[in-house]
C-alpha cells in the first residue's frame, strides 16, 4: 500500500519540447512559463503535494546538453536532496537517455526517485503527451511505501512506462512511446493503476548517504563498425588527440572482422592506455566475447566486454570513470562491474 498523501517534489525544467507552448500571437513555439504551470495544469492542485520549480536559464534543447549540464542537474538535486521526497526532471527527449545514464553515475547511493520525462508535443498544445507524462512522473516521484520511496533510482517515465534510466534508448522520433529498454524490464506501467515491478527496482535504504560526483572526462569516441570499414577511418578515430577510451559498436554478440590492421590498431590503442569497450549494435542481447572466432582476437588485443550495456550508458560510464581514475587497469576493472544496474555481467 502506498501512503503518498503528502509529499514535496522538486521539478527541475531543463528544456526540450515539453517546456514549449504556442505563442497565441505568433503561433511560434516559445518556452513555457513554468511559474504558470499551476494555471496551465490545474490537475496538479488535486495532488496533495507541494511542488517547487527550478529551471535552466536559458532552457535548452537537449542536443545542447552535455557533461556540464549533467553536473548542474546533479548539483541541483544534491543541494535540494534533504528537502524533497522526489525529483522530476523535464528534459528534451533527444539526449534524455544520456542524461539519465550520467545522473545514475553522478548521484551515488541515490535513495530517492529522480524521474526524467519530456514530451513529443509541446505542453501548450492540445494533443500534448506532456501533461500525462508530467503528472504521472510527479506521482511516481512522490510514491512511498511504509515511508520509503518506491523507486529510489534515476528513471525515465514516458507514455505509460517507467524505465531504469541507464537502460533506456530513444527509439522513436514520432510516436509517443519514445523510449525503449531492450535489456531490462519496465520498473512500472501506468494504466488505470501504476503497477510497480518491485523485483526489478533498487531497494530503498535510509542507511546510504548521497555522494555527489562532478568529475567527467569526455575524451572518448564511439566507433561503429560496418562491413567494408576502412583502415584510414579507424586509424583516424584512434589517433584522436587526447583519446582515452573507445566504445566499439561491434556486430551481433560482439564480433568484428579479423583483418590484421584492425588487430594492430587495437593492440596499439591498448599499449597507449586507451580503453576499448565492446558493445553490440543489436538492440537486445549481450556481447559474449570468445563465443565466435571473430571476437577472440578482440579479447587478445585487450578489448573488454560491455555485456548488454547501452551506448548511452557506456559513454557516460566511461566519462565518469575516466574523470575519476587515471590508472587504466582501474578503469577497465571498474567498467567491468555493474555500478547501478546499468549492465548484466555474466
Catalytic residue annotation? 17
Q: Does 312 bind ligand ASP (CB under 6 A)?
A: no
Q: Does 61 bind ligand ASP (CB under 6 A)?
A: yes
Q: Does 172 bind ligand ASP (CB under 6 A)?
A: no
CA count, 13 A, side-chain hemisphere, 194: 26
Considering only 4, 17, 183, 313, the residue that binds ligand ASP (CB under 6 A) is 17
Q: Does 136 bind ligand ASP (CB under 6 A)?
A: no
Q: Which of residues 242-301 bind ligand ASP (CB under 6 A)?
A: none
**Does 58 sit behind a cis peptide bond, omega within 30 degrees of 0 on the bond before it?**
yes
Radius of gyration of the chain (CA): 21
Which CB sits closer to ligand ASP, 13 or 150? 13
Report d(CA 332, CA 76) in Å as an integer: 30
Q: Does 186 bind ligand ASP (CB under 6 A)?
A: no
Q: Does 168 bind ligand ASP (CB under 6 A)?
A: no
Q: Which residues contact 20 (CB under 8 A, 6 or more apart)?
A: 29, 30, 31, 32, 122, 123, 124
C-alpha cell at 79: 543541494
Minimum CB–partner distance for residue 14 and ligand ASP (Å)? 9
Considering only 55, 93, 136, 313, the residue that binds ligand ASP (CB under 6 A) is 93
| Segment holding 264, helix H or strand E | helix 260-271
Q: Does 62 bind ligand ASP (CB under 6 A)?
A: yes
Q: Which of residues 109-128 bind ligand ASP (CB under 6 A)?
A: 118, 120
C-alpha cell at 39: 494555471
Q: How many CB atoms lie within 10 A of CB 20?
A: 24
Choose one: 46-54, 89-97, 158-166, 315-323; the region binding ligand ASP (CB under 6 A): 89-97
Q: Is-contact 87 10, C-beta < 8 A?
A: yes
Q: Is-contact 326 319, C-beta < 8 A?
A: no
Choose one: 11-19, 223-231, 283-291, 303-311; the region binding ligand ASP (CB under 6 A): 11-19
Q: Which of residues 200-239 bind ligand ASP (CB under 6 A)?
A: none
By CB under 6 A, name the binding residues for ligand ASP.
15-17, 61-63, 92-94, 118, 120
Amino acid at each position: 500500500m502506498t501512503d503518498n498523501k503528502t509529499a514535496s517534489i522538486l521539478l527541475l525544467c531543463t528544456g526540450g519540447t515539453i517546456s514549449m507552448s504556442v505563442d497565441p500571437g505568433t503561433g511560434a513555439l516559445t518556452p513555457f512559463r513554468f511559474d504558470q504551470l499551476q494555471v496551465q495544469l490545474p490537475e496538479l492542485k488535486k495532488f496533495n503535494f507541494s511542488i517547487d520549480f527550478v529551471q535552466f536559464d536559458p532552457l535548452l534543447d537537449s542536443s545542447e546538453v552535455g557533461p556540464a549540464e549533467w553536473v548542474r542537474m546533479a548539483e541541483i538535486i544534491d543541494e535540494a536532496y534533504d528537502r524533497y521526497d522526489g525529483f522530476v526532471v523535464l528534459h528534451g527527449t533527444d539526449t534524455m537517455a544520456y542524461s539519465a545514464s550520467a545522473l545514475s553515475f553522478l548521484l551515488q547511493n541515490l535513495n530517492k526517485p529522480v524521474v526524467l520525462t519530456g514530451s513529443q508535443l509541446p505542453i501548450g498544445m492540445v494533443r500534448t503527451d506532456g501533461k500525462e507524462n508530467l503528472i504521472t512522473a510527479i506521482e511516481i516521484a512522490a510514491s512511498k511505501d511504509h515511508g520509503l520511496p518506491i523507486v529510489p533510482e534515476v528513471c525515465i517515465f514516458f507514455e505509460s512506462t517507467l524505465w531504469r534510466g541507464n537502460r533506456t534508448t530513444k527509439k522513436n522520433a514520432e510516436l509517443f512511446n519514445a523510449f525503449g529498454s531492450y535489456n531490462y524490464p519496465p520498473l512500472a506501467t501506468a494504466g488505470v493503476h501504476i503497477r510497480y515491478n518491485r523485483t526489478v527496482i533498487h531497494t530503498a535504504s535510509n542507511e546510504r548517504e548521497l555522494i555527489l560526483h562532478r568529475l567527467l572526462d569526455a575524451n572518448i569516441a564511439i566507433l561503429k563498425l560496418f562491413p567494408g570499414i576502412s583502415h584510414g577511418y579507424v586509424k583516424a578515430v584512434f589517433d584522436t588527440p587526447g583519446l582515452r577510451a573507445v566504445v566499439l559498436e561491434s556486430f551481433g554478440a560482439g564480433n568484428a572482422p579479423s583483418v590484421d590492421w584492425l588487430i594492430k590498431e587495437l593492440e596499439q590503442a591498448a599499449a597507449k592506455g586507451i580503453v576499448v569497450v565492446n558493445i553490440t549494435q543489436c538492440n537486445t542481447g549481450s556481447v559474449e566475447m570468445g563465443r565466435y572466432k571473430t571476437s577472440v582476437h578482440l579479447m587478445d588485443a585487450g578489448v573488454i566486454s560491455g555485456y548488454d550495456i547501452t551506448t548511452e550508458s557506456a559513454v557516460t560510464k566511461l566519462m565518469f570513470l575516466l574523470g575519476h581514475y587515471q590508472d587504466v587497469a582501474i578503469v577497465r576493472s571498474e567498467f567491468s562491474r555493474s555500478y547501478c544496474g546499468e549492465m548484466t555481467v555474466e
